[in-house]
Amino acid sequence: MASAVAGQTANGDKRDLLILGGGLVGMTLALAAARQGISSHVVDRADPADLTAEGFDGRASAISTASWNLFANIGLAPQLEPHGCPIESIAVTDGMRPGRIDFRPEPHEGSLGRMFANRILRLTLFEAAKDEPLISWHSRAEIVERERGPFGVSVRLADGTQLSASLMVAAEGRNSPTRKETGLTIAKWDYSHQAIIAGLVHEKPHGNVAWEIFYPAGPFALLPLLDGPAGQHRSALVWTVADKDAAGVLALSDRAFLTEVEKRMHGVFGSVSVEGPRSAFPLGFHHTARITAERLALIGDAAHGIHPIAGQGLNLGLRDVGALVEAIADGMRLGLDLGDPQVLKRYENWRGLDSFMVALATDGLTRLFGIPGRLPSAIRRLGMGIVQRTPPLKRWFMDEARGVTGDLPELLKG
């Protein structure tokens, strides 16, 4: 399949895709494409050993049902299954005041998603990619030059290697240098907030409940994780704080940090201790109206980044993967070149509106809960009470969380 679109170049083989960025989204794309017989170069600056080291990234991701289907469809379910903690319900409250929405699906509707440590996702993807001959993986590689032209794309690496393909895919995350170089403009605003990430060990079992507790300063989320090896009950904490406070929170002593956390948990899980290091990630919203250019597609955070409160960032990126692979594979079945503008247009039309809607909805939620004061709080609680008592509204929110609304790519269907 590697030679489906073109012959050999002077320096190495020309492949179908040149994927810049081998993170969760980029590597999932390479694997999903390979399952369709589409070959790729994957270029990443980092050393995979660092990325999968214990303690490199304490983040965890809520994998929606749709995203889970994608992993299953590319054959990763057996490896991932034992590491996922199903979310059986989501409890949303306004600072633990009365009035709370419980999103709990009926038993036959399945779970709202599963929590995975990012490290596990990365390990599984890297392991699968190593065994896949259609993926040519270039790690610890610095790109010094990108080129896109009428017949193909290429990059030159710092060591002189030239890699070429039919279509370039930028999966480099929110600061995508490829997007900047192309001049695709983004709409963005900064929340002036950071997410503090930490692992918690707690006395009472979480009962597979994810908590989203909204405070005016920002949401405080507890996401259920599998019990530890010694039976410890664990959750991942995502606590949003203002930029100016972030450094201070990171610098708190373990004991002082724990006190702040416990104050916001109101004892829902009994006594708590902090596990592992704390880290902070800046929050922002950005969206590009155009996610394609000549022989270029943006996916994942390179195309759109959203506030992580609803755990939708990675899920959106995985939807990009499903849509792009389907557009490419359908085009190839018609004999179209991978970089054909009609193929890219289909991807752009498909993903543009969907990701913008999710980004807006998530952003709206953050802003709604970010207004301090008693009256807004009362309105929010009233709103939550209405949603709680209105089954169609609740179902819509749950379907959004599961990621099963909208026009789903085949790869994300069960």
Where does this chain bind another protein (CB under 8 A)? Answer: 1, 4-8, 14, 37, 150-151, 331-337, 340-342
Token pair listed for 358: 């999710």
Tell me the C-alpha distance between 56 and 49, whole Å. 10
Least CB distance to another protein at residue 2 (A)? 12
Nearer residue to another protein within complex by CB, 198 or 329: 329
Least CB distance to another protein at residue 16 (A)? 11
Nearer residue to another protein within complex by CB, 7 or 82: 7
Tell me the C-alpha distance between 200 and 179, whole Å. 37
Tell me the C-alpha distance between 414 and 404, whole Å. 10
Tell me the C-alpha distance between 87 and 208, whole Å. 5
Least CB distance to another protein at residue 291 (A)? 17
Nearer residue to another protein within complex by CB, 283 or 329: 329
Least CB distance to another protein at residue 327 (A)? 11
Nearer residue to another protein within complex by CB, 205 or 406: 406
What DSSP element (H or E) covers 327? Answer: helix 313-333
Q: Report the number of secondary-structure helices (H) and strands (E) in the chain.
A: 12, 19
CA angle centred on 134, ends 128 and 138, rounded to 5°: 75
Least CB distance to another protein at residue 27 (A)? 23
Nearer residue to another protein within complex by CB, 11 or 342: 342
* 69 three-state secondary structure: helix
Least CB distance to another protein at residue 4 (A)? 6
Nearer residue to another protein within complex by CB, 57 or 132: 132
Nearer residue to another protein within complex by CB, 8 or 11: 8
Least CB distance to another protein at residue 411 (A)? 14
- Backbone φ and ψ for 201, nearest 5 degrees, come out as -115, 130
- Integer CA distances (angstroms), 256 to 123, 243, 267, 274, in order: 34, 19, 16, 11
Closest CA to 204 of 185, 183, 221, 227: 227
What is the signed CA dihedral for 372, 374, 375, 376, rounded to 10 degrees? 30
